[in-house]
């Protein structure tokens, strides 16, 4: 598995080729060493951002791996799994199945089952996540193709993949964790092949939240969250070599007070289920509708040009294996089994084989 990974995996610091030596990867060019431990490849982040990155890792670890608060994760799981499954089903429809198996990077993967779902649909999937604990929890979702070499601890703003080596970048509810989302899109452009697909599922700000922010200094954000409007993301995509070609709005929850709003949300949710194509006027109307009602955005974009704005690679500080503090017993905790049941029910609800 590692040997196959090395065909596209590169040194995160200089993009040089890597060699596998016992329990680590070594760069041929800059001699950077990346440990391999407990099925994870440990890469890292810009060493100049150590303080904020280390705080981010601790925050995400405490949020994503706390089984004492698992009930709120159960409540979120069903709509979250459903929007991911529906989007991946469209992705499979949009890609020519006659060609070779497509390579997908799931960035900001956390412990969600998206890597497993992508693999179930036949994609050659790589999971990337900065917090090793969150990444490790994703090993709960078993698939024969998701073995050593497919789980990479790294900052997605500096992806350890060769230029033009990837067919799809899958990004679910991650971009709002990145302050410089423009640089992230440039990096995604770099690793994608021509006409490769960037699938982005993301919540965004509404007019009401902007109003609160502007006049009442109110913000729903916490540390490490940098929500933007959908317009900013849309124009950043176009500016950085992407052509959005599908756009869906998807609501996770019903309104408790406005029944008419629920009718609208149901209509929007049905569009992604039936793979309705998106016209230019649809883009225009949905962008403005999202600004009013605040639902999740699902945007499919094709890379139509290379962007030569990529920044010089920084010196990389390795996230060490010692920062992975959960162990195998976490993966066998009976409280996690309910997530498996939820995913199975979502497959059945959409009428897809489990």
215 has a pLDDT exceeding 90: no
pLDDT for residue 309 is more than 70: no
Those residues whose C-beta lies under 8 Å from the C-beta of residue 344, and which sit 6 or more positions away, are 354
In this prediction, residues 180-204 reach a mean pLDDT of: 96
Q: What angle do CA 246, 89, 229 make, to 5 degrees?
A: 40
Query: What is 38-350's CATH superfamily?
Result: Vaccinia Virus protein VP39 (3.40.50.150)
Strand partners of residue 41: 36, 152
Q: What are phi and psi of 323, to 5 degrees?
A: -80, -10
Query: What's this model's pTM, rounded to 2 decimal places?
Result: 0.94
Q: What is the pLDDT of residues 46-69, one digit of tens each?
A: 999 999 999 999 999 998 999 988
What value does the mean pLDDT take over residues 251-262?
A: 80
Is the per-residue pLDDT at 221 higher than 60? no
pLDDT of residue 259: 79
Q: 118 exposed, middle or buried (CB, 10 Å; 0-12, 13-18, 19+)? A: buried
Other beta carbons less than 10 A from residue 234's beta carbon: 20
Percent of the chain clearing pLDDT 90 (strictly above)? 80
Q: What is the rounded (10 degree) CA torsion for 6, 11, 15, 18?
A: -40
Report pLDDT for 86. Answer: 97
Q: Closest Cα to residue 159, out of 6, 324, 15, 308? A: 15
Higher-pLDDT residue of 354 and 22 is 22
Question: What pLDDT is recorded for position 352?
Answer: 80
Alpha helices (H) in the chain, listed in sequence order: 2-5, 50-64, 70-94, 114-120, 132-137, 181-191, 207-216, 230-239, 259-273, 280-293, 328-331, 337-350
CB atoms within 10 A of CB 282: 15
Domain layout of the chain by residue ranges: 38-350
**Has residue 242 got a pLDDT over 90?**
yes
- Please give the pLDDT value at position 241: 97
Q: What is the predicted pLDDT for the residue at 164?
A: 96
Euclidean distance between CA atoms 192 and 342, whole angstroms: 32
Higher pLDDT residue, 252 or 167? 167
The arithmetic mean of pLDDT across residues 235-253, rounded, is 95
């Amino acid at each position: 598995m590692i040997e196959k990974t090395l065909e596209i995996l590169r040194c995160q610091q200089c993009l040089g080729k890597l060699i596998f030596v016992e329990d680590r990867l070594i760069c041929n060019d800059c001699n950077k060493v990346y440990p391999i431990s407990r099925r994870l490849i440990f890469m890292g982040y810009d060493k100049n951002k150590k303080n904020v990155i280390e705080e981010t890792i601790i925050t995400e670890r405490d949020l994503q791996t706390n089984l004492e608060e698992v009930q709120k994760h159960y409540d979120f799981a069903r709509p979250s799994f459903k929007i991911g499954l529906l989007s991946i089903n469209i992705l499979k429809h949009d890609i020519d199945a006659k060609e070779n198996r497509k390579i997908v990077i799931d960035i900001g993967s956390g412990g969600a089952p998206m890597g497993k779902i992508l693999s179930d649909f036949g994609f050659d999937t790589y999971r990337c996540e900065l917090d090793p604990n969150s990444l490790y929890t994703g090993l709960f979702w078993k698939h024969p193709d998701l073995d050593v070499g497919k789980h990479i601890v790294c900052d997605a703003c500096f992806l350890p993949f060769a230029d033009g080596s990837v067919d799809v970048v899958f990004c679910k509810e991650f971009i709002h964790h990145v302050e410089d989302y423009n640089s992230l899109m440039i990096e995604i452009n770099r690793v994608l092949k021509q006409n490769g697909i960037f699938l982005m599922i993301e919540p965004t700000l509404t007019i009401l939240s902007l109003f609160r922010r502007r006049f009442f200094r109110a913000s729903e954000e916490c540390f490490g969250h940098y929500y933007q409007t959908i317009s900013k993301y849309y124009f950043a995509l176009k500016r950085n070599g992407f052509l959005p070609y599908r756009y869906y709005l998807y609501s996770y929850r019903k309104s408790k007070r406005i029944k008419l709003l629920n009718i609208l949300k149901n209509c929007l949710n049905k569009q992604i289920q039936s793979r309705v194509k998106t016209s230019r006027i649809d883009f225009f109307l949905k962008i403005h509708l999202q600004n009013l009602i605040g639902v999740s955005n699902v945007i499919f974009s094709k890379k139509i040009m290379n962007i030569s704005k990529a920044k010089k690679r920084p010196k990389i500080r390795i996230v060490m294996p010692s920062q992975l503090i959960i162990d195998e017993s976490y993966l066998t905790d009976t409280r996690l089994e309910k997530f498996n049941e939820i995913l199975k029910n979502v497959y059945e609800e959409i009428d897809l084989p489990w």
